[in-house]
């Protein structure tokens, strides 16, 4: 008998029928002899509908009230889910974020969890009840106000509950079967991974993979929570996201599905390929090649609120003493960053700005890169054979990313996926949904 935390997203509880399907899944887990704690998101588009209402009554809704409003969405879904379970003959109790002891700081709309005191949840579990908790919300002790956790909040709720309750596993359900070696919509031969290390998962998520939120994976890594990413629509095993020292059914987890002893030998070099079309590139042309210019520029960009990802500065032409600096950032941040830079053109002394939103980023991720050489050579060779031009390169200890033309991204991903021996034998699009 284990304690299992499960998280169901908005699409899994979009209507009455879906809620009943999820209720059955929870009941099946209980029937198998496990204690179950569920974190649930708001139904389908509820959050967007509430946001829309808010914008109709107030151009800039007061943050405290916006959190009060949005937190009602999970209250609806969790109560319905508890009722559905109840009517199947099982005791179920729903708890709001504050009832569940999800204590956060006071940053409305983007609160961070500071403590989890699940006293009432433990009581309910001890009494044999299935526990349903509102995802995405908490409360602040000082203001006694309700807060929301922001993007990926429900995943984080689930992981935080799993950590506080010392659950055996945190199952995160979505409409895809697990973590794939690439996005199956881009690379049809992508394979579902049986397991992946949390550091690889973080790199994939940070570079375009959308199945799990970085924040939840980070929380899980820090608190030693084993995540199992799986599908609401199938009973098959999904993907385990494991960290240092984690065990499942008493066995230590390692990469590649091998056991602890054979692990190193069987470890794949590359875990997956991530693709990202959400970025834009800004090139600053004719920057005086004197010390401190880069710092000056990126201070301006940072103050505009943009999150810079890759940066490249070319060698200055000795004749002119001018260099070009390119960087990437989310498309949504580009306009603000461009405006901020233009406003400081005279001061910085650059010649012009070029904005390019037709780019794609391809990243190859794998802990095997630490110990294996030649990983980047394989990447560059594959792209070169395909005639794909590399515009920028950035690397971390376990990742290589390249910037290419957006139109080339899908083909590049398929070729690189093949080059690293990641291709499966069947078409993955049959198994995986179309993202969430």
Q: Which residues, other chains included, contact 400 with Cβ-Cβ below 8 Å and sequence gap of 6+?
A: 363, 364, 369, 375, 376, 379, 393, 394
Quick one: 72 exposed, middle or buried, by C-beta within 10 A (0-12, 13-18, 19+)?
Answer: middle
Find the shortest distance in angstroms from Cβ 78 to a second copy. 7
Q: Read out DSSP for 240-267? A: EEE-TT-EETTEEP-GGG--TTTHHHH-
Find the shortest distance in angstroms from Cβ 101 to a second copy. 12
Quick one: 235 exposed, middle or buried, by C-beta within 10 A (0-12, 13-18, 19+)?
Answer: exposed
Find the shortest distance in angstroms from Cβ 436 to a second copy. 22
Q: Which is nearer to a second copy, 98 or 254 (CB)?
A: 98
Find the shortest distance in angstroms from Cβ 5 to a second copy. 20
Q: Which is nearer to a second copy, 18 or 174 (CB)?
A: 18
Q: Which is nearer to a second copy, 93 or 414 (CB)?
A: 93
Q: Which is nearer to a second copy, 11 or 336 (CB)?
A: 11
Q: Which is nearer to a second copy, 62 or 385 (CB)?
A: 62
Q: Which is nearer to a second copy, 49 or 427 (CB)?
A: 49
Q: Which is nearer to a second copy, 20 or 248 (CB)?
A: 20
Q: Rounded distance, CA 106 to CA 342, Å?
A: 35
Q: Which is nearer to a second copy, 87 or 352 (CB)?
A: 87
Whether 329 and 307 have beta carbons less than 8 Å apart is answered as yes
Q: Which residues, other chains included, contact 74 with Cβ-Cβ below 8 Å and sequence gap of 6+?
A: 40, 41, 42, 96, 97, 134, 135, 136, 137, 154
Find the shortest distance in angstroms from Cβ 112 to a second copy. 22
Find the shortest distance in angstroms from Cβ 14 to a second copy. 12
Find the shortest distance in angstroms from Cβ 152 to a second copy. 22
Rounded to 10 degrees, what is the CA torsion of 78, 81, 87, 92? -50
Q: Which is nearer to a second copy, 96 or 254 (CB)?
A: 96
Residue 354 DSSP code: E
Find the shortest distance in angstroms from Cβ 132 to a second copy. 9
Share in percent of the chain as helix, strand, coil (round to 5) = 35, 25, 35
Find the shortest distance in angstroms from Cβ 41 to a second copy. 14
- Any alpha helices (H) in 386-433, and if so which ranges? 409-419
Give phi and psi for 97, each to the nearest 5. Answer: -55, -45
Q: Which is nearer to a second copy, 74 or 391 (CB)?
A: 74
Q: Rounded distance, CA 58 to CA 24, Å?
A: 40
Find the shortest distance in angstroms from Cβ 170 to a second copy. 24
Q: Read out DSSP for 304-322? A: TT-----EEEPPPBTTTTE
Find the shortest distance in angstroms from Cβ 120 to a second copy. 7
Q: Rounded distance, CA 361 to CA 277, Å?
A: 7
Q: Which chain residues interact with a second copy by CB under 8 A? A: 16, 19-20, 23, 50, 53-54, 56-62, 64-66, 68-69, 71-73, 75-76, 78-84, 86-87, 92-94, 96, 99, 120, 144
Residue 171 DSSP code: E
Q: Rounded distance, CA 37 to CA 35, Å?
A: 7
Q: Which is nearer to a second copy, 57 or 315 (CB)?
A: 57
Q: Rounded distance, CA 198 to CA 400, Å?
A: 17
Q: At what angle do helices 198-206 and 214-223 cross, to 10 degrees?
A: 160
């Amino acid at each position: 008998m284990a304690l299992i935390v499960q998280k169901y997203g908005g699409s899994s509880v979009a209507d009455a029928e879906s809620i009943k399907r999820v209720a059955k899944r929870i009941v099946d887990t209980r029937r198998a002899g496990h204690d179950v704690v569920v974190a649930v998101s708001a139904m389908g588009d509820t959050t967007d509908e509430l946001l829309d209402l808010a914008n109709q009554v107030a151009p800039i809704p007061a943050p405290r009230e916006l959190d009060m409003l949005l937190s009602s969405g999970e209250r609806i879904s969790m109560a319905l889910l508890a009722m559905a379970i109840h009517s199947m003959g099982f005791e179920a109790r729903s708890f709001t974020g504050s009832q569940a002891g999800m204590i956060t700081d006071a940053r409305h709309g983007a609160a961070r969890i500071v403590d989890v005191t699940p006293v009432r949840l433990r009581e309910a579990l001890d009494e044999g009840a299935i526990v349903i908790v509102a995802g995405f919300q908490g409360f602040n002790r000082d203001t006694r106000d309700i807060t929301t956790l922001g993007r990926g909040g429900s995943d984080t709720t689930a992981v935080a509950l799993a950590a506080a309750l010392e659950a055996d596993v945190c199952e995160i359900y979505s409409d895809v079967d697990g973590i794939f070696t690439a996005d199956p919509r881009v690379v049809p031969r992508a394979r579902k991974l049986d397991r992946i290390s949390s550091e690889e998962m973080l790199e994939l998520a940070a570079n375009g993979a959308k199945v799990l939120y970085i924040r939840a994976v980070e929380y899980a890594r820090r608190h030693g929570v084993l995540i199992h990413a799986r599908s609401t629509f199938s009973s098959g095993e999904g993907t385990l996201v494991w960290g240092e020292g984690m065990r499942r059914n008493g066995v230590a987890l390692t990469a590649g599905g091998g056991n602890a002893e054979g692990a190193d030998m069987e470890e794949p070099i590359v875990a997956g390929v991530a693709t990202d079309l959400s970025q834009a590139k800004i090139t600053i042309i004719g920057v005086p090649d004197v010390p401190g210019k880069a710092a000056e520029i990126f201070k301006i960009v940072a103050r505009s609120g943009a999150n810079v990802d890759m940066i490249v500065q070319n060698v200055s032409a000795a004749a002119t003493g001018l260099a070009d600096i390119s960087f990437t950032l989310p498309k949504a941040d580009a306009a603000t960053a461009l405006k901020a830079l233009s406003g400081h053109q005279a001061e910085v002394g650059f010649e012009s700005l070029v904005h390019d939103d037709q780019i794609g980023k391809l990243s190859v991720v794998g802990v095997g890169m630490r110990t294996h050489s030649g990983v980047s050579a394989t990447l560059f060779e594959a792209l070169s054979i395909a005639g794909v031009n590399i515009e920028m390169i950035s690397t971390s200890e376990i990742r290589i990313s390249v910037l290419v033309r957006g139109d080339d991204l899908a083909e590049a991903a398929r070729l690189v996926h093949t080059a690293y021996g990641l291709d499966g034998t069947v078409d993955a699009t049959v198994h995986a949904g179309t993202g969430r």
